Amino acid sequence: MADPMKIRAQMKGDTAEIRVLMSHAMETGQRKDNAGATVPAHFIQAITVDVGGKRVIQGQTSTSVSRNPVFGFKVKGAKVGDKVVIHWEDNKGDKRTDEAVIAA
């Protein structure tokens, strides 16, 4: 089971600023370990973000994203108290969903 994400969501004027920190190895599949064996690719490949029950982002990521990545979004039309649900899935089928509420 993957480690939890850290989500920060805050209104700035009429825009909600959402930032999420994910815990993931994000292996590219190009690295070799000390024994010279290739470290298999292991990366987040799908991310979705729902705000207030509405999907605002559906994205695909690949190996160019760093380990423990941070993503930031600005969403117009959201309001304080809206629920933010972020979900990711990696290439090995591991997944994680976390929630936060937009703060004032």
- CA distances from residue 93 to 12, 43, 50, 88, 96 in whole angstroms, order as listed: 35, 10, 20, 10, 10
Helix, strand, coil abundance in the chain, percent, nearest 5: 0, 55, 45
Report the residue number, 21 or 103, with the smaller CB distance to other proteins: 21
Beta carbon nearer to other proteins, 30 or 64: 64
Q: Tell which one of 29, 38, 74, 92 touches other proteins (CB under 8 A).
A: 74
Q: Contact at 8 Å (CB) between 20 and 3?
A: no
Closest contact distance (angstroms) between CB of 93 and other proteins is 21
Q: Which of 9, 43, 73, 88 binds other proteins (CB under 8 A)?
A: 73
> Which token pair is 65?
């994203």
Residues 35-54 that bind other proteins (CB under 8 A): 51-52, 54
Q: Which of 15, 45, 48, 91 binds other proteins (CB under 8 A)?
A: 15
Q: Judging by beta carbons within 10 Å of its beta carbon (0-12, 13-18, 19+), is residue 64 exposed, middle or buried?
A: exposed
- List residues near other proteins by CB under 8 A: 3-4, 6, 8, 15, 19, 21, 23, 26, 31, 33, 51-52, 54, 56-57, 59, 61, 64-78
